[in-house]
Amino acid sequence: MNNNNYCVIMSGGIGSRFWPFSREAKPKQFLDFFGTGRSLLQLTVDRFKKILPIENIYIVTNEAYAELTKQEIPELKSSQVLLEPLRRNTAPCIAYAAYHIKKMNPDANIVVAPADHLILKEDEFASVIKQALEFVSRNPILLTLGIKPNRPETGYGYIQIDEDKVDGINKVKVFTEKPNYELAKIFYESGEFLWNSGLFIWNVDTILRAFHDYLPEISNVFDQGVDIYCTPEEQGFINEQYAYCPNISIDYGIMEKASNVCVLGADFGWSDLGTWGSLHDISEKDEEANVTLKCETMFFDSSENIVAMPEGKLAVIQGLHDYIVAESDGILLICKKSDEQSIKQFVADTKLKYNDRYI
């Protein structure tokens, strides 16, 4: 294994779109959705342990999940869990990890991955990541992985491929946020677009240069700590300075603006598991396209549903079509799958009425 290769796993989100299974005390990255005995975070670490040294794996998470993260991944040292005092989206999270790793190894190549993605083809994934790390070690490129679409999906961002290439890999022409169905259909049928996987690979110097060029309001914050990273004073510095970072994503802050961005197309059975609908798409279904997670179910005149309840419970469903039925810790959610974008509003309204009791 190449000791210059590192992985940063972003694990600080709440996952409110998976409420009531995902709660503030235990968000979706810490949940075992498929009954495998491994949470999404554990599966992500397992995946990267096969590709690079485990001592080179870092998890960035909210300070509220420090102990939970250490319980889930006991093989990591405390110094490999970087704690954010508050949520500031992906750009500050990635910058923090890059500055820390730069202090550890100025020659580092870094792959950045969310903690809650599903990868079905592990061997293909490992091969693509190794190729990507080798590429960025030779080229000052911000590389993202694109997934060949198999349907006009409106829940993902899209990347248009440019004909120009760097060392055999296509440059990016344009990023497009989640399109409506008509536009997604055009993207899908054109063959020029890939889904944006949210997986990034770069050399540490390349990404830090990009922060200085495109997000100086973030690099100015972290530049103040160059003599503090990897010392006992680091956490205090982060706790004091992190609030000065703007709340901005790496896509919007850097990837959509930079000219040195390439995309490597891949097919390794990827899903970002962002919604109940995406979970339904990749799960095993009965003859009426119903999905059952963990519990037992009996369906009558019902189709296209996803039912998720604790083990040992039975759900009897009659006359429901395209619904989410999810029960966890005293909360029952029954919601049309086509309206699942409303779940975030359900959470907000519940918090307004009941404070944090059910959040």
Please report the pLDDT score of residue 294 as a whole number: 87
pTM for the whole thing?
0.92
CB 297 within 8 A of CB 317: yes
Percent of the chain with pLDDT over 90: 83
- If you average pLDDT over residues 59-87, what whole number do you get? 96
* Among the listed residues 313, 273, 308, the one whose alpha carbon sits nearest the alpha carbon of residue 21: 308
Predicted confidence (pLDDT) per residue in 152-200, tens digit: 888 889 999 999 999 999 999 999 988 888 999 999 989 899 999 999 9
Please report the pLDDT score of residue 39 as a whole number: 95
15 pLDDT more than 90: no
Length of the chain: 359
* Among the listed residues 269, 157, 263, 261, the one whose alpha carbon sits nearest the alpha carbon of residue 214: 261
Which residue bears the tokens 């990016």?
172
204 pLDDT more than 90: yes
53 pLDDT more than 90: yes
DSSP helix/strand/coil, 302 = coil
Q: Which amino acid is at 90?
A: T
* Among the listed residues 289, 13, 262, 278, the one whose alpha carbon sits nearest the alpha carbon of residue 145: 262
pLDDT higher at 16 or 161: 161
DSSP letter for each residue of 177-227: -S--HHHHHHHHHHS-EEEEEEEEEEEHHHHHHHHHHH-HHHHHHHHTTTT
Q: What residue ranges do the domains of the chain occupy?
A: 5-271, 276-354
Q: Which two tokens mark 346?
A: 């359900």
* Among the listed residues 7, 18, 10, the one whose alpha carbon sits nearest the alpha carbon of residue 61: 10
Q: Which helix (H) or strand (E) holds 6?
A: strand 5-10
Predicted confidence (pLDDT) per residue in 210-248, tens digit: 999 999 999 999 999 999 999 999 999 999 999 999 999
Please report the pLDDT score of residue 271 as a whole number: 85
If pLDDT is split at 50, 70 and 90, which confidence band does 127 have?
very high
Please report the pLDDT score of residue 134 as a whole number: 97
Q: Which CATH number fits domain 5-271: 3.40.50.1820, 3.20.20.10, 3.40.30.120, 3.90.550.10?
A: 3.90.550.10
Please report the pLDDT score of residue 253 as a whole number: 96
DSSP helix/strand/coil, 125 = helix
Please report the pLDDT score of residue 152 as a whole number: 87
346 pLDDT more than 90: yes
16 pLDDT more than 90: no
The residues near 168 (Cβ < 8 Å, ≥ 6 apart) are none
> What distance lies between CA 291 and its chain's CA centroid?
23
Please report the pLDDT score of residue 2 as a whole number: 86
